[in-house]
């Protein structure tokens, strides 16, 4: 345990070195949030219900998506690709008595936590200033289900990130894949709008993938869009996705490691 | 106690072959061709506790590959390896706590932070107690003379300073077996000498077993009693450094200083002339003829001073590699 605390400590120190770059990247999220806020406020000036959402619900969705995005989809795992290519550190961690995935999960958590804290600090001021109305979760059980779904989402994305980075074993051009994944993700996870906005056929296709389980479903649980039974069903399916993504990642990772050993790095 | 045992180690790399161009890339994605390279070819050796062994050979000889197999980074294609009683590539944590691999060209320090942060991290990873940690940092920073470098961002250190910090980071768990892959690469003469002193001290103080690879004969001559010479994956010599000379060098060199200028022609009958400038000369003479030739030289030529030297080791090794090509 102390090992991982030490990893967390040094990661945090490293994040602080780049605090300005970091704040600027948070600023992007805020601009997006403000745009979406005014867009939906305009849309709801002429009607009360749209796509089964009322004004408060859609605004809560957008805010929550912005916050969760900084927590679920912010990840340090993209750095693994660079580490695989430059060998230096990866090489030394392979020889140390510490689990590589656990090591990265710790790094990941620190990124997520600092990101979460800063985004909340930034959001608080405009929220109070504009007196933005929010939907509260229906009860403590709803909230707990939401937390559970979010936790599984974090793990799913963690392994997805490693999976993409693992291609670094074979090719130095990982960034293309990382960028593509981000594009697909932002669209199909519901980062900018609830998936209900999309045509039914597209929705049903997207819902066959693991992406909506990252943001869309956890937020839907929070907003009370799903009954308890439906929420639990969603959580079970996302657990299956987690298991699937984990297995594929582990498999591909071991293949990569074998390849590395066979080529000699 | 035998610390490292290597028996019939062979390592074959399978390197994917690809021609340039997008079409070829796609083709190789579906149907990949491999070229097999034998990096290490059936080598065996044993190393006892506390030995400091030099691994020498030209680029691509298989030195680094052997170290990688011994440290557990790579699994062997065939052969049996035991280090401290462990099978390295199983990467057991009790094994990892007792070894280290330091490569001059790789770094583990966190680039944007002071080196001390990495030391603290390694302390926890290797589960080193506070007391041991303090003692070791004191010892290492004193002998390597780093002092306040520990508080400077790693990226602002010079190469020599960084290498020292890398060493401290690598030795916080006080490993019993050290694999040093070109530890002096890119260092200036002073830093190189510091590194020599340090490696020697560490070896003696902790009775640590050390294998060191280097391109610089100087490293090996200063540090290692025993050397293993490897070329094209095969061991061509394993033994005392001092014996290399008698084994491989058939000739000795006689340096001559004359009281007056002599004719070059007069020297030819004694041996091969290496250099000649009227009153000075160096000639190469077969080992078993040296006594005889010296006697004749003293008798026949106006000699002021005469000395007999072994050819430099660097030269001998260059010849060995040239011959084995």
Structure confidence at residue B257 (pLDDT): 87
C-alpha dihedral, A109 to A247 to B25 to A83, nearest 10°: 30
Q: In the structure encoding, which two tokens stand for residue A259, read together?
A: 């390849």
Q: In the structure encoding, which two tokens stand for residue B95, read together?
A: 């094994």
Residue ranges of domains in chain A: 2-263
Quick one: CA dihedral B161, B165, B168, B170, positive or negative? negative
Kindly determine whether residue B100 and residue A262, on different chains, have CB atoms separated by under 8 Å. Answer: no
Kindly determine whether residue B13 and residue A262, on different chains, have CB atoms separated by under 8 Å. Answer: yes
Q: What is the percent of chain A with per-residue pLDDT over 70, rounded to a whole number?
A: 98
Mean pLDDT is highest, among A244-248, A261-265, B27-31, for A244-248
User: Cα dist. B166→A45, A92, A159, A238, B102 in Å?
Assistant: 63, 11, 31, 43, 8
- DSSP state letter for B310: P
Round to whole Å and give the CA distance between B212 and B9. 18
Helices (H), B31-88: 63-71
Average pLDDT over residues A61-89: 81
Q: Does residue A264 register a pLDDT over 60? A: no
| Bridge partners of residue B281, in order along the sequence | B256, B276
Contact A40, A62 (CB under 8 A): yes
Round to whole Å and give the CA distance between B40 and B63. 8
User: Cα dist. B82→A74, B58, B100, B198 in Å?
Assistant: 43, 26, 15, 27
Structure confidence at residue B27 (pLDDT): 65
Round to whole Å and give the CA distance between A25 and A63. 17
Kindly identify which residue of chain A lies nearest to residue B97, measuring between CA atoms.
A97
Kindly determine whether residue B91 and residue A14, on different chains, have CB atoms separated by under 8 Å. Answer: no
A244 confidence band (pLDDT: 50, 70, 90): very high
Structure confidence at residue A221 (pLDDT): 92
Round to whole Å and give the CA distance between B39 and B55. 15
Kindly identify which residue of chain A lies nearest to residue B173, measuring between CA atoms.
A96
Contact A174, A168 (CB under 8 A): yes
Q: Which residues of chain A lie closer than 8 angstroms to B118, CB-CB?
A: 10
Kindly determine whether residue B124 and residue A262, on different chains, have CB atoms separated by under 8 Å. Answer: no
Q: Which residues of chain B lie closer than 8 angstroms to A12, CB-CB?
A: none
Contact B209, B130 (CB under 8 A): no
Domains and CATH numbers, chain B: 2-245 (3.40.50.300), 250-309 (3.30.70.980)
Contact B285, B271 (CB under 8 A): yes
Kindly determine whether residue B120 and residue A9, on different chains, have CB atoms separated by under 8 Å. Answer: yes
Structure confidence at residue A87 (pLDDT): 61
Q: Does residue A245 register a pLDDT over 90? A: yes
| Bridge partners of residue B12, in order along the sequence | B38
Nearest to A95 among B71, B110, B118 (CB): B71
Mean pLDDT is highest, among A44-53, A83-92, A122-131, B60-69, for B60-69
Structure confidence at residue A191 (pLDDT): 83
Contacts of B2 (CB under 8 A, 6+ apart): B46, B47, B48, B49
Picking from A13, A90, A6, A12, the residue whose alpha carbon sits closest to that of residue B123 is A6
Distance from CA of residue A75 to its chain's centroid? Answer: 7
Q: In the structure encoding, which two tokens stand for residue A102, read together?
A: 């656990």
Cβ atoms within 10 Å, residue A243: 13
The CA-based angle A155-A94-A249, given to 5 degrees, is 30
Structure confidence at residue B286 (pLDDT): 86
| CB proximity under 8 Å: A 89-118 to B | 89, 91-98
A79 confidence band (pLDDT: 50, 70, 90): confident
Kindly determine whether residue A10 and residue B110, on different chains, have CB atoms separated by under 8 Å. Answer: yes
Contact B132, B174 (CB under 8 A): yes
B322 by DSSP, 3-state: which? helix
Distance from CA of residue B85 to its chain's centroid? Answer: 24
Contacts of A174 (CB under 8 A, 6+ apart): A78, A81, A85, A164, A165, A167, A168
Contact A22, B136 (CB under 8 A): no
Residue B232: Cβ-neighbour burial (10 angstroms; 0-12, 13-18, 19+) = middle
Contact B114, A114 (CB under 8 A): no
**Spans of chain B below 50 pLDDT:** none
By a Cβ cutoff of 8 Å, what residues of chain B touch chain A? 11, 13-16, 39, 65, 68, 71-75, 91, 93, 96-97, 99-101, 103, 106-108, 110, 112-113, 117-118, 120-127
Distance from CA of residue B262 to its chain's centroid? Answer: 44
Structure confidence at residue B18 (pLDDT): 66
The CA-based angle B294-B298-B302, given to 5 degrees, is 135
Distance from CA of residue B101 to its chain's centroid? Answer: 13
Specify the long-range contacts of residues A48-53, CB closer than 8 Å, at least 24 apart: A51/A194, A51/A196, A51/A197, A52/A196, A52/A225, A53/A194, A53/A196
- DSSP state letter for A70: I
The per-residue pLDDT for range A197-213, each reduced to its tens digit, is 888 898 889 889 999 99
Structure confidence at residue B311 (pLDDT): 77
User: Cα dist. B215→A46, A187, B95, B170 in Å?
Assistant: 78, 54, 28, 22
Give the closest-approach CA distance of B244 to chain A in angstroms: 31
Helix pair angle (B313-324, B241-248), 10° resolution: 60
Cβ atoms within 10 Å, residue B253: 20
Cβ atoms within 10 Å, residue B1: 9
Q: Is A264 an 8 Å CB contact of chain B?
A: yes
Quote the mean pLDDT of chain A: 85
Contact B184, B54 (CB under 8 A): no
Kindly determine whether residue A263 and residue B99, on different chains, have CB atoms separated by under 8 Å. Answer: no
Q: Which residue has the tokens 């020889």?
A: A95
| Bridge partners of residue B78, in order along the sequence | B10
Size of interface A-B (CB pairs under 8 A): 82
Q: In the structure encoding, which two tokens stand for residue A175, read together?
A: 């960034």
| Bridge partners of residue B121, in order along the sequence | none
Q: Which residues of chain A lie closer than 8 angstroms to B108, CB-CB?
A: 88-89, 92-93
Q: Does residue A156 register a pLDDT over 90? A: yes
Q: Does residue A265 register a pLDDT over 60? A: no
Query: Strands B52-56 and B226-231, how do they pair?
Result: parallel
């Amino acid at each position: 345990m102390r090992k991982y605390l030490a990893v967390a400590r040094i990661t945090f120190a490293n994040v602080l070195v780049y605090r300005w770059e970091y704040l600027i990247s948070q600023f992007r999220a805020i601009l997006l949030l403000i745009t979406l806020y005014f867009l939906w406020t305009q849309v709801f000036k002429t009607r009360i219900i749209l796509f089964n959402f009322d004004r408060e619900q859609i605004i809560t969705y957008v805010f929550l998506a912005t916050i969760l995005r900084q927590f679920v989809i912010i990840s340090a795992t993209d750095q693994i690709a660079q580490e695989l290519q430059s060998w230096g550190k990866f090489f030394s961690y392979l020889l140390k008595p510490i689990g590589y995935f656990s090591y990265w999960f710790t790094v990941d958590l620190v990124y997520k936590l600092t990101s979460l804290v800063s985004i909340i600090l930034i959001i608080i001021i405009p929220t109070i200033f504009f007196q933005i109305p929010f939907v509260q979760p229906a009860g403590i059980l709803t909230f707990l289900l939401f937390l559970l779904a979010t936790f599984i989402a974090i793990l799913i994305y963690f392994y997805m990130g490693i999976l993409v980075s693992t291609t670094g074993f074979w090719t130095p051009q990982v960034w293309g894949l990382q960028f593509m994944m981000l594009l697909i993700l932002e669209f199909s996870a519901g980062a900018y709008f609830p998936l209900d906005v999309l045509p039914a056929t597209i929705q049903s296709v997207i819902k066959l993938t693991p992406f909506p389980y990252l943001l869309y479903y956890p937020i839907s649980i929070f907003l009370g869009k799903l009954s308890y039974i439906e929420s639990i069903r969603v959580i079970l399916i996302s657990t299956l996705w987690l298991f699937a993504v984990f297995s594929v990642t582990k498999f591909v990772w071991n293949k990569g490691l074998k390849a590395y050993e066979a080529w000699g790095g | 106690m035998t610390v490292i045992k290597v028996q019939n180690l062979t390592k074959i790399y399978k390197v994917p072959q690809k021609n340039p161009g997008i079409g070829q890339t796609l083709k190789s994605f579906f149907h990949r061709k491999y070229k097999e390279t034998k990096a290490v070819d059936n080598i065996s050796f044993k190393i006892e506790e506390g030995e400091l062994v030099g691994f020498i050979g030209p680029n691509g000889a298989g030195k680094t590959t052997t170290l990688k197999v011994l440290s557990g980074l790579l699994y062997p294609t065939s052969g049996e390896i035991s280090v401290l009683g462990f099978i390295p590539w199983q990467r057991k944590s009790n094994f990892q706590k007792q070894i280290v691999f330091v490569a001059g060209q790789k770094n583990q320090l966190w680039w944007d932070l002071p080196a001390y942060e990495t030391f603290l991290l390694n302390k926890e990873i290797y589960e080193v107690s506070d007391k041991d940690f303090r003692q070791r940092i004191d010892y290492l920073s004193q002998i390597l003379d780093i002092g306040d470098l520990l508080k400077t961002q790693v990226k602002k250190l010079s190469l020599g300073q960084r290498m020292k910090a890398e060493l401290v980071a690598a030795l916080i768990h006080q490993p019993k077996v050290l694999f040093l892959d070109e530890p002096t690469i890119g260092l200036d003469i002073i830093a190189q000498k510091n590194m020599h002193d340090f490696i020697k001290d560490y070896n003696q103080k902790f009775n640590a077993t050390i294998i060191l690879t280097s391109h610089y004969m100087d490293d090996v001559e200063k540090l290692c009693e025993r050397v293993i010479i490897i070329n094209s994956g095969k061991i061509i010599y394993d033994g005392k450094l001092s014996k290399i000379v008698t084994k491989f060098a058939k000739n000795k060199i006689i340096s001559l200083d004359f009281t007056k200028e002599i004719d070059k022609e007069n020297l030819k009958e004694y041996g091969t002339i290496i250099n000649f400038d009227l009153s000075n000369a160096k000639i190469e003479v077969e080992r078993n003829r040296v006594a005889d030739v010296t006697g004749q030289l003293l008798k026949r030529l106006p000699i002021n001073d005469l000395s007999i030297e072994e050819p430099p080791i660097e030269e001998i090794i260059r010849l060995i590699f040239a011959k084995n090509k």
